[in-house]
Chains A and B, each alone.
Chain A
Amino acid sequence: MDEQNGNGKSAASGPGEALISMKNIWKTYQMGTEELHALRDVSFEVRRNEYLAIIGPSGSGKSTLMNLIGCLDSPTKGEYWINGNLVSDMSDDELARIRNKEIGFVFQTFNLLARATALHNVELPLIYAGMRAAERHDQALASLTAVELGDRVTHRPNELSGGQRQRVAIARALVNNPSILLADEPTGALDSKTSIEIMHLFEKLHSDGNTIILVTHEPEIAERAHRVITIRDGRIEKDERIK
């Protein structure tokens, strides 16, 4: 079931046991009179506690796929299930709820709010989840402590190093106990030493039971995952287990 071809059909018939299930996903953009297929009939599944890397050159459709997995966008055709929710037909606000509950984003450029403290940045998903202030504060603090930033909670992003900023972002991604941690080139803006630190952190998070999807164009980063999906021209070219 893991060994799938982009053109092949998914073995599973429903969401089944898979945490994520993409079935015959198409994403088509209308460019004037021409149709541009960013994704062509993509199907795959991700199970709980997998560590998956999605790799591909720029223009391969990898970013489009990431946006779909992250529920920032909806497919043109096909079914997308996440944790038992069929999200491919959801409205904008329903997608916002799924992003809030099921997805923890880690971005290349961290995407922290510059004016807010580390703690407030980490609290944001909980604020939109409607959690009370006291509970929120404790949970955000615990999350920051887990990434070893318990002593930096009142710092603003510009008072933190790149590695620390990315750890704040990871704490924010994890604070709501999402189904998946979705990282988009998480080391792209970091030096090699810090990159290694961050990749170690991902490994630790994986061993703690988190499901991680890493989107990258760097093979050496992808190699750290346990499964690699290679995207080319909008199709899955390869889907292999490496550990």
Chain B
Amino acid sequence: MNILETLKLAFSAIWAHKLRSFLTLLGMIIGMTAFMVVLSLLQGFNGYVDEKIAGIGSNTFNVQRFNFEDFKDTDTINAAQRRNTELSFAELDFIRQRAQLIEMIGAKAGNTSSAVRNGDQTLQDVGITGAEPVIRDIENLDIAEGRYFTDIENDNAMRVAYIGRDIATNLFPYGGAIGGEISIRGIPYRVIGIQTAKGTVFGFPQDNFVQIPIKTFGENFGGLRRQRAPFFIARPKDGVKTADAVDEVRTLMRIIRKVPAGEKDNFGIVTPDAISGLRDSLFGTISTVILFVPAIALVVGAIVIMNIMLVAVTERTKEIGIRKSLGARQKDILQQFLLESGMLSAIGGLIGLILAIIIGQVITAFVFPTRIPWWSAVIAIGVSAVVGILAGLFPAWKAARLDPIEALRAD
């Protein structure tokens, strides 16, 4: 008996008991839906982080005071705070002049939270950062209106601001943001550019910021020290591997800081890889744990399927006897019941997957980006089929081993 024949047989057996099959599959469906929804949330989050990294420029990297490893525990933080000094513009110039593999490098500072005002309109807790004009090219900023600030504006610490869309809408409800004036800590700034709206991600507004020239930032916010110390963002030249550019910058930093060979860096370099690595180390464990819970529902679903298959074998003892009397081998009967439970379970998996896709769309529309990659959908169906086949093993084995004479005698 060939597989296609057996598949048709399995489907007609499932179809013959539609309601029972559906009730049997509820556990499987709920388990699969829960599993896929959780997975789609995790994937959505990962996708967001990846996109963010790509948005910055997938091959840019940061030079900053601390490394990720420095935050391991309080001892390492304290040690790093003693060893690692704040970055300086002298160091930035040193790298800028000597680096061969870097196309651009620029400094940023902040975030400082502050209220921003225009007339009687006030916005609280706006993130204020300072940046060198070159940051625009390094970060590929998406300017909706106006422009970014220039070197002259930075060198002269002019009071100009590049703002997020939320600031423009809230402080200039009637338009006219470009050329308008906002006031931060009593100091007025002229708005020269607005960034294209990015919306919110994970509840964090992306358009609620003010960027001003880094020199202006230093003068008006109490100096580029401590939390306001600069960090650098570098973009390697085209065709240069990020790792090589990182090595070059690291070497230059060690030279200017006179770090003896063999001693570890007293600064940090953060690459996109390091960011996704950090994400994986943080969320890898959490993912496993939160996927484990719906996985339990899948196991319960499998047990229900095994139970119904045992019932099916008992109910269809006569049929098994008839089939055996007509020449069905043990293998044929085994295959028939295995495929039936596998198909039953795969149908449950498919329904669960469809529900998860619908729920994912709703969540994406209203709350949070979600994503079900095609490979996970394929795996979901595959896993549910395998679960079904495993659950069917014992019942199918029982059916295959039935004595034809006894089986024919059954009602």
A residues with CB within 8 A of B = 67, 70, 72-73, 92-93, 96-97, 99-101, 105, 107, 111-113, 115, 124-125, 127-130, 172, 176
Contact = CB atoms under 8 A, between A and B. Distances in A.
7 pairs of A and B residues whose beta carbons are closest in the complex: A100-B327, A128-B327, A93-B329, A96-B329, A125-B326, A111-B322, A72-B404
B interface SS class: helix
Contacts of B5: 127
Contacts of A96: 324, 327-330
Interface residues of B, number: 22
Given A72-B405, A111-B318, A113-B322, A92 B330 contact: yes
Contact of A99 (B318, B327, B331): B327
B376 interface: no
A1 B319 CA distance: 40
A8 B327 CA distance: 33
- Residue from B1, B318, B327, B331 with most neighbouring chain A CB atoms (10 Å): B327
Given A67-B405, A127-B5, A130-B2, A93 B325 contact: no
A130 B5 CA distance: 10
Nearest to A73: B405
Contacts of B332: 128
Contacts of A105: 325-326
A127 B405 contact: no
A93 B327 contact: no
B318 A93 contact: no
A interface SS class: helix
Given A72-B325, A112-B322, A128-B328, 7 more contacts: A70-B325, A93-B329, A96-B324, A97-B329, A99-B324, A99-B325, A113-B319
B405 A99 contact: no
B113 interface: no
Contacts of A125: 326-327
Contacts of B354: none
A69 to B, nearest CB: 12
Nearest to A173: B326
B319 to A, nearest CB: 6
Contacts of A127: 1, 5
Contacts of A70: 325
12 contacts: A67-B405, A72-B324, A96-B327, A99-B326, A100-B326, A111-B408, A112-B322, A115-B12, A125-B326, A127-B5, A128-B326, A176-B327
A130 B1 contact: yes
A93 B404 CA distance: 12
B405 A128 contact: no
B16 interface: yes
Interface string B390-405: 0000000000000011
Interface in B305-349: 318-319, 321-332
A124 to B, nearest CB: 5
A124 B326 contact: yes
B327 A97 contact: yes
A100 B404 CA distance: 13
Nearest to B407: A72
Contacts of A176: 327
